[in-house]
Amino acid sequence: MTRSLMKRVQELESKLNVRTQSAIKLRYGYLQRLPEDLEGDRHIETSKSEHTAFPNVELCAFEERLGPGPDLDELTFDVYLSLEDNDPSAI
């Protein structure tokens, strides 16, 4: 095979690999935090999840928990909302 043909085959294979990967999920929702006086490692887990009208978008409830977080293979983009963020006096 010629070099240009090999290069083209490699480009097509890489594009195919990108298309077969799972889509990134967008998850958003309110976060329930642990009290500040608790010490140790913390992580955030999803406690409740609902699908929305948009594909790959979920409305969730998040909880902060003690201990190291689990290893996840999912590709997600999480947006944590807080009731404190809605305080107009904070602006």
Q: What is the tens place of the pLDDT at every residue in 39-76? A: 889 999 999 999 999 999 999 999 999 998 887 777 88
| DSSP string computed for 21-81 | SPPPEEEEEEEEPPPTT--S-EEEEEEEEEE-SSTTEEEEEEEEEESPPPP----EEEEEE
Closest CA to 52 of 72, 21, 86, 28: 28
Q: Average pLDDT in the 20-28 region?
A: 81
1: confidence class by pLDDT, cuts 50, 70, 90 = low
Tell me which amino acid residue 56 is. N
pLDDT tens track for 67-85: 988 877 778 899 999 876 5
What residues contact residue 81 under an 8 Å CB cut-off, 6+ apart?
28, 29, 30, 31
pTM: 0.64
Closest CA to 61 of 77, 48, 76: 48
